[in-house]
Amino acid sequence: MRPGRKAGGGRRQAAKPRSARSRRSPSPASRLPSPAFRIGHGYDIHRLEPGAGVTLGGVRIDCPYRVVAHSDGDVLIHALCDALLGAAGLGDIGRWFPDSDARFKDADSRELLRTVVRELRTRRWLPVNADVTLIAEAPRVAPHVMAMRERLAAELGVDAGAVNVKATTAEGLGAVGRGEGIAAHAVTVITRR
Ligand SMILES: [Zn+2]
């Protein structure tokens, strides 16, 4: 069936009221009601330097480098915070926790996530689920994925099954592929409380 054509053949005169309606300018009363669900996306990237380990998804992982960041450099949590803020229309993590603010020096990113979730709750938004992707040549995160899911889920107030953490490499391409940095994407859905 071609788009816009009714099954069984719509009568021609039906087109007239439709086009008359479309000419009307939308009024607030005709807008759709506030949706029960919203989606958000977040992205973060940090440089790496020689060090004693990284924190990802709230889990400390021993490895021969560290993340260069004002806070603990947890890219997974930073991407997730941005996704949540984006879904709620609340800007981004840089606006809420500026690099220039000494309070956030070496901050535990779980505290930042806790604050974001609290701000959402006060606006009647609750996280439903999150899907987070790490892009890094190393470290190997597979042994830590379950612990990350549980920690992130605890902050979001959802079951661990509603938080997916996956990891991929950059196939040796670009800065991340050369091991100079570590990046993450996050997508989340929130709902009305
Ligand atoms: Zn970050």
Q: If you measure from the C-alpha of residue 8 to the centroid of ligand 1, how many angstroms do you get, rounded to a whole number? A: 56
Residue 104 lies in a domain: yes
Q: What is the CATH number of the domain that holds 164?
A: 3.30.1330.50
Rounded to whole angstroms, the Cα distance separating 131 from 180 reads 24
pLDDT at 25: 58
Q: Is the residue at 107 inside a domain?
A: yes
Instruction: For residue 11, tell me if it sits in a domain.
Output: no
Q: How far is the CA of 67 from the centre of ligand 1 (A)?
A: 9
3-state secondary structure (DSSP) of residue 112: helix
pLDDT digits (tens, 9 = 90+) for 119-170: 999 999 999 999 999 999 999 999 999 999 999 999 999 999 999 999 999 9
CA of 109 to the centre of ligand 1 (A): 9
Q: Is residue 51 part of a domain?
A: yes
Q: What is the mean pLDDT of each run of 10 residues along the chain (193 residues)?
A: 41 47 58 88 97 96 94 96 98 92 88 97 97 95 97 98 97 96 98 93
For residue 143, count other CB atoms closer than 10 A to its CB. 10
The predicted model scores a pTM of 0.83
